[in-house]
Amino acid sequence: MIPIAGTPVLTAAEMRAAEDAAIAAGTSVDTLMQRAGAGVADAVRRLAGVNDVLILCGPGNNGGDGYVAAARLHAAGRSVRVAASGEPRTPAAIAARALWTGAVEPLATAAPAPVLVDALFGTGLSRALDAETGAALGRLARQANLTIAVDVPSGVATDDGTVFGEVPAFHVTLALGAAKPAHLLQPAAARCGTVRVIPIGIPTDSATQILARPDLTAPPVDAHKFTRGMVAVVRGRMAGAAQLAASAAMHAGAGYVTLLGATIPSAPHALVRRRLDAEALADPRIGALLIGPGLGRDDDACASLEQALATDHPLVVDGDALHLVTPERLCDRHAPLILTPHAGEFAALFGAPAGSKLAAARDAAVRAQATIVFKGPDTVIAAPDGHAIIAGEANSWLSTAGSGDVLAGAIAALLAGGRRALDAAAAGVWLHGEAARRLGPAFIADDLAVALAGARA
Ligand SMILES: NC(=O)C1=CN([C@@H]2O[C@H](COP(=O)(O)OP(=O)(O)OC[C@H]3O[C@@H](n4cnc5c(N)ncnc54)[C@H](OP(=O)(O)O)[C@@H]3O)[C@@H](O)[C@H]2O)[C@@H](O)CC1
Ligand SMILES: [K+]
Best probe residue, ligand 1, of 28, 29, 56, 62 (max atoms within 8 Å of C-beta): 62
Residue of 386, 333, 347 lying closest to 363 (CA atoms): 386
Kindly list the structural domains of the chain, giving each domain's residue range(s) and its CATH number in brackets, ordered by start.
2-207 (3.40.50.10260), 230-456 (3.40.1190.20)
CA-nearest residue for atom 25, ligand 1, is: 125
Sign, CA dihedral 10-15-17-18, equals positive
Closest ligand by atom to 172 CA: 2
**Structure confidence at residue 24 (pLDDT):** 95
Asked if residue 202 lies in contact with residue 22, where contact means CB atoms within 8 angstroms, the answer is yes
Residue of 201, 194, 210, 195 lying closest to 177 (CA atoms): 201
Tell me which residues have their CB within 5 A of the ion that is ligand 2.
118, 149-150, 154
**Structure confidence at residue 219 (pLDDT):** 84
CB count in 10 Å sphere of residue 225 = 14
Mean pLDDT by 10-residue block, N- to C-terminus, for the chain (457 residues)?
90 96 95 98 96 98 98 97 96 97 97 98 96 97 98 97 95 98 96 97 93 90 82 94 96 96 77 91 97 97 97 97 96 95 97 93 98 97 98 89 97 97 98 96 96 94
Strands (E), 30-109: 53-57, 80-84, 104-106
Buried b (16+ CB within 10 A) or exposed e, 88-124: bebebbebbbebbeeebeebeebeebbbbbbbbbbbb
Sequence-ordered alpha helix ranges (H) in 202-319 = 239-251, 278-281, 299-310
**Structure confidence at residue 203 (pLDDT):** 86
**Angle ∠(220,314,217) on CA atoms, nearest 5:** 20
CB count in 10 Å sphere of residue 373 = 31
State the amino acid at position 298 in one-letter form.
D
Buried b (16+ CB within 10 A) or exposed e, 160-169: bbbbbeebbe
**CA 66 from chain center: how many Å?**
28
Closest ligand by atom to 176 CA: 1
Helix axis angle for 91-99 and 61-75, nearest 10°, is 20
Closest ligand by atom to 11 CA: 1
Relative to the CA of 155, which ligand 1 atom is closest? Answer: 29
**Structure confidence at residue 455 (pLDDT):** 96
Q: How far is the CA of 75 from the centre of ligand 2 (A)?
A: 22
Element (H, E) at 439: helix 421-439
